[in-house]
Amino acid sequence: MCPPPTQNGTNGTNGHAKPRAAAAAPYQTVQDFLSNTNNFKIIESTLREGEQFANAYFDTATKIKIATALSDFGVEYIELTSPAASPQSMEDLKAICGLGLKAKILTHVRCNMEDARLAIECGVDGVDVVIGTSSFLREHSHGKDMAYIQKSAIEVINYIKSKGIEVRFSSEDSFRSDLVDLLSLYKAVDAIGVNRVGVADTVGCATPRQVFDLVRTLRGVVSCDIETHFHNDTGCAIANAHAALEAGATHIDTSVLGIGERNGITPLGGLLARMIVGSHDYVTSRYKLAKLKEIEDMVAEAVEINVPFNNPITGFCAFTHKAGIHAKAILNEPSTYEIINPADFGMSRYIHFASRLTGWNAIKSRVEQLGLTMTDDQVKTLTSKIKQMADIRPLAIDDTDSIIRSFHLDLQA
Ligand SMILES: [Zn+2]
């Protein structure tokens, strides 16, 4: 019974009356000198991790459209599928590298010389190298021991660096890897000048506290940047990304709507919803937030899904206020029940008035929107009529508007 989500629409009231700074203090996250919640970069992986989503099939034109939109939105990096995956993947990577986008173009390859050579041939700005380090992956996937992993990592990183290209080295399934193995591997690649090391919760098992502990420990071991990658199997992907930044991570992997392997990773929109609350100026200065809905709709259409009702920011009811007491406060001062100003994302709030939970302030606001005039006492009588009707059956907006209009006609008669 809510209207569809609107962008730059006219529902509800205007933006938050007071500047956010006045209300910002309670939202500040715990900060120390290693925290990067006010200074992070996004590695947007819709065209790599997102391609592993069950429904995803991106043709060249769609990849170009998505990459262009993401670059325009302001993400710092766009990661694409390995050119070793298929001949078309290689052609698409070359095509996107040739667009001259503002975002840096990365590809994600296995830790071997052949894959690294292919990536560089395509003209990428950076290569993301990955290898499994957990005992599960060492036994059941590639079968290599840690000494072999370290030797090949060093060879591949040195080669990529010799070509003047940015390189990241990531373990896979980091949270189920042996901590000592992991740290000595990261230390070795940091020593030869890798640009970033990556921590990946490939199976989605980590909790925010585990993430904080691992990233904070790693921060004390390496001097390079730290990238993090979180799967959402237990719904912790956004919280884990936030914990990683608090601990000193510098880069967060995202995908639009969180699409990826299984149920995906940290969603771009959800991460920015989380970050804007404590780092408003940083987020609004770097990203064209009003483009978020358009990008999400573009990707949702490409992979044939609907945007979930409870999606942060763009879910159809993300800024809908229903309970009477909420509506009253929201009409007076939106910050009362909103920590995010919808206007920052080019969205608008909606005061739900067509229900038995409504209050007379919400009805009064609707009466005014309809261009009608009533006294407060008259609005209160009208409100009780609407509540009586809403107790009998669900009310649509049109139903409620006709109750309001006929009440107004009776008043005039
Ligand atoms: Zn992943």
The tens digit of pLDDT for each residue in 95-107 reads 999 999 999 999 9
What is the rounded distance in angstroms from the CA atom of residue 255 to the CA atom of residue 262?
Answer: 13
- Tell me which residue of 272, 259, 343 sits closest to 312, measured CA to CA: 272
Tell me the pLDDT tens digit for each residue of 168-195: 999 988 999 889 999 999 999 999 999 9
pLDDT in tens, 350-391: 988 999 999 999 999 999 999 999 999 999 999 999 999 999
The model's pLDDT over 25-64, given as tens digits with 9 standing for 90+, comes to 556 656 789 999 999 999 999 999 999 999 999 999 999 9
pTM over 0.85: yes
Average pLDDT on 85-91 reads 98
**CATH top-level class of 39-278:** alpha beta
Domain ranges of the chain: 39-278, 320-412
Catalytic residue flag (residue 16): no
Provide the 10 A C-beta neighbour count for residue 270: 21
* Distance in Å, CA 356 to ligand 1 centroid: 45
With 0-12 / 13-18 / 19 or more C-beta atoms within 10 angstroms meaning exposed / middle / buried, residue 26 is exposed
204-225 pLDDT, tens per residue?
A: 999 999 999 999 999 999 999 9
Taking the centre of ligand 1 as the mean of its atom positions, its distance from the CA of residue 98, in whole angstroms, is 26
Q: How far is CA 361 from CA 119, 328, 378, 382, in A?
A: 60, 5, 12, 11
Predicted pLDDT at 94: 98
Amino acid type, 345: F
CA of 201 to the centre of ligand 1 (A): 8
Q: Which residue is catalytic, options 142, 326, 352, 408?
A: 326
280 contact partners, CB below 8 Å, separation of at least 6? 20, 24, 344
Length of the chain measured in residues:
413
Mean pLDDT of the chain: 91
Residue found under tokens 């001949």: 87
Q: What is the 58 CA–ligand 1 centroid distance (Å)?
A: 18
Separation CA 38–CA 373 (nearest Å): 48
